[in-house]
Amino acid sequence: MKKKGSLFLLLLCIIFSSQPASGTETDAPVIACIIPSYSDIVFWSDIENSMYQKAKELNVELLMLYTKHTNPSLAMDLNEALSIAIYSDVDAIITSYTLANPETDDMLAAALEKEIPVIMIDCDCPAQLRSAYIGIDNEAAGFKIGQLALDAMEGEHNALLVYSTESPNRENLLQRIEGIQHAFEHNDHRLQEYIISNYSVQTVREIRQLLTEDPSIEAVIAISENSTLLCSQAISGSKRTDTVHLYGFDESEDTLTLLEEGSIDALACQIHSEMGDLSVEIANQLVSGDENAAGIHLIDFVVRQPK
């Protein structure tokens, strides 16, 4: 059953967010792109911009739907956005499982039942609930970051792996952890794990205290933007800023600033524009009946280090 609010949002999204590639085309494929309302965050804004550019090139229309996050304007729950996309009979849906909640799987199954291709980006869902996935090889990225941390450590020093269990749908983060753990196998350096229960001042203090009490920790590895920023705070407020190296993930204005300042030793980053570009291209191919477009499509990642 559709809510009146949903129909109103649908009308607004069609008026303001649908981007026709040509003013004369009336039968262009319509692709619903469901992303967080992160307009000021590098990751999603780059993806959104590249989606529009590829849509113009391919002569397809985009229906941009924004989920609730930092900006409540024209934002909704992911399931509501999926419902709007299905109700609108779009030709394909692009979204990320990062935004999922317990009811999302039913909505994804409903889209596939209506033969609407579903393309996941950044974070994958169970394979049976999507047509294609686009993202980096997170295990390989984790392995690379783990190797860099090992290269920087000397003697009997060890590393601290920091991650959160707050996001149950983050399969990509689990893959990063596996890659890091694999890098530390069969060597003399120990990888100690610290699980974040929440991102708070208290957590910063606890990590800072751990670094103070255990001088053997020479490297801290964080697996997401939030945990990287939190660990940077913990290190900067400690007496070990010159003896602890920080390795993190995800490019944002904040993490790039810390990288340039030398507070982060290495940052594994996805190429945002490639993800947005390829997602629209794959969606268009699936709509056209190209079965080869289904499946997993890995894009490159880069490791940024201070200049």
Minimum mean pLDDT range among 34-38, 255-259, 283-287:
34-38
In this structure, the chain runs to a length of 307
Structure-token match 């317990």, residue found: 102
Distances (CA, A) of 224 to 49, 202, 257: 23, 19, 16
CATH 3.40.50.2300 residue ranges of the chain are 4-130+271-299, 138-270
Domain 4-130+271-299 has CATH 3.40.50.2300: yes
Number of neighbours of residue 196 by Cβ within 10 angstroms: 20
Q: Are 114 and 93 in contact (CB under 8 A)?
A: no
Please give the backbone phi and psi of residue 240, each rounded to the nearest 5 degrees, phi first: -120, 30
Residue 96, Cβ density class (10 Å: 0-12 exposed, 13-18 middle, ≥19 buried): buried
- How far is the C-alpha of 77 from the C-alpha of 291, rounded, in Å? 30
* 115 vs 77, more confident: 115
Token pair in block for residue 70:
């930092």
Find, among 38, 40, 42, the residue nearest to 259 by Cα: 42
Q: 77: which DSSP letter?
A: -
Q: Where are the alpha helices (DSSP H) in 18-95?
A: 42-58, 78-87
pLDDT at 296 over 70: yes
- How far is the C-alpha of 266 from the C-alpha of 249, rounded, in Å? 8
Please give the backbone phi and psi of residue 191, each rounded to the nearest 5 degrees, phi first: -110, 110
Under the banding of pLDDT at 50, 70 and 90, the label for residue 251 is confident
> Given this model, what pLDDT does residue 44 score?
83
Find, among 261, 307, 263, 305, the residue nearest to 151 by Cα: 305
> Given this model, what pLDDT does residue 261 score?
94
Q: Are 219 and 245 in contact (CB under 8 A)?
A: yes
Structure-token match 């606890």, residue found: 206
pLDDT tens digits along 164-223:
876 555 788 899 999 999 999 988 889 999 988 778 899 999 999 999 999 999 999 999
Number of neighbours of residue 17 by Cβ within 10 angstroms: 16
Residue 279, Cβ density class (10 Å: 0-12 exposed, 13-18 middle, ≥19 buried): buried
pLDDT tens digits along 52-98:
999 999 999 999 998 865 445 556 788 999 999 999 999 999 999 98
Q: Are 304 and 269 in contact (CB under 8 A)?
A: yes
> Given this model, what pLDDT does residue 41 score?
62
Under the banding of pLDDT at 50, 70 and 90, the label for residue 156 is confident
Token pair in block for residue 50:
């590249």
Report DSSP letters for 107-162, one per residue.
HHHHHHHTT--EEEESS---GGG-SEEEEE-HHHHHHHHHHHHHHH--TT-EEEEE
> Given this model, what pLDDT does residue 45 score?
84
- Looking at CATH, the fold of the domain delimited by 138-270 is given as Rossmann fold (3.40.50)
Question: How far from each other are the two terminal CA atoms of the chain, in whole angstroms?
Answer: 55
